[in-house]
Amino acid sequence: MKAEAATRPKIDRAALLQLAYDLPAAWNAPTTDARTKQRLAHLVIQEVVIDLDDASNEAVVIVHWIGGRHTELRVPRVKTGRYPVDRGPSPVAVMRKLGGQWPDRELAVTMNRMRCKSADGQSWTTVRVQELRERLAIPAFDPSLAREPTISVDETAARLKICVGSVHRLIRQGVLPATQLMPSAPWMVPVAALDTEAVRIGVQDIVARRPRNFAVLQGDKTLRLPGI
């Protein structure tokens, strides 16, 4: 034990205490890697509480620091393609428009995303969707029917090797043809459209606008603390 203790570097107590009062210096030091920053975060953060402010459409993030202080951050929530809280579409209207376009499970997810409330205010499940669809005499999704092959926005982003936001930008610009039967319904992107010249040029423009250190930024999983 004594031999092991002798091999350890001497601890400069004064320097260590000074470092405790200068967290930005330790956080921003060139030798501080992501793992060290995670350990520092665990030392100084007691908990993080996230709440939703529907009035301002923001996510409210409260960081409780060790010692009793706290920091409040407000992050805007995405508004594009979503219905206002008080003006969601009726379940019948959604079912008549989207029923049979996707399996009942996917349709339940979509109806919940659209804030489409059931009569009793409950969330939609596969069983609830099936019951409403059958009550309206709407056929179930038939995967054997001939349809133009389409993929989701997420899969489109993965295939084109760009982010989801860039895919939405191409759709808004009319470069990438896509169909959305109702606001908040999933976008359906034709697979054949990915190989068109217009899309290739659009993707090239997106890649050209990336910062030179894009690859480094993509691999940087560093936790960033507010104010540091």
Reported as a single tens digit per residue, the pLDDT across 107-133 is 998 888 887 877 788 889 999 999 999
* pLDDT tens-digit series, residues 8-56: 667 777 776 776 677 787 788 888 888 888 888 888 888 888 888 877 7
Say what the pLDDT of residue 226 is: 57
The two tokens of residue 193 are: 């459209």
SS3 call for 121: coil
* pLDDT tens-digit series, residues 174-218: 999 999 888 778 889 999 999 999 999 999 988 887 766 555 555
**Domain-wise residue ranges, the chain:** 2-48+63-68, 85-135, 150-208
Q: Please choose, from the candidates 24, 21, 28, the residue with its C-alpha nearest in 3D space to the C-alpha of residue 67.
A: 21
Q: Does the CA dihedral 156-158-161-162 come out positive or negative?
A: positive
Query: Are 228 and 29 contacting, i.e. CB atoms less than 8 angstroms apart?
Result: no
Question: How far is 78 from 93, CA to CA, in rounded Å?
Answer: 24
| Predicted confidence band of residue 171 (pLDDT cuts 50, 70, 90) | very high
The two tokens of residue 33 are: 């890697």
Query: Are 167 and 153 contacting, i.e. CB atoms less than 8 angstroms apart?
Result: yes
Q: In the chain, what percentage of residues exceed pLDDT 70?
A: 82
| CATH entry, 150-208, from 2.160.20, 1.10.405, 1.20.1280, 1.10.1660 | 1.10.1660
Say what the pLDDT of residue 130 is: 93
The model carries a pTM of 0.53
Say what the pLDDT of residue 104 is: 92
Question: How far is 138 from 136, CA to CA, in rounded Å?
Answer: 6
Distances (CA, A) of 130 to 57, 99, 106, 125: 32, 9, 11, 9
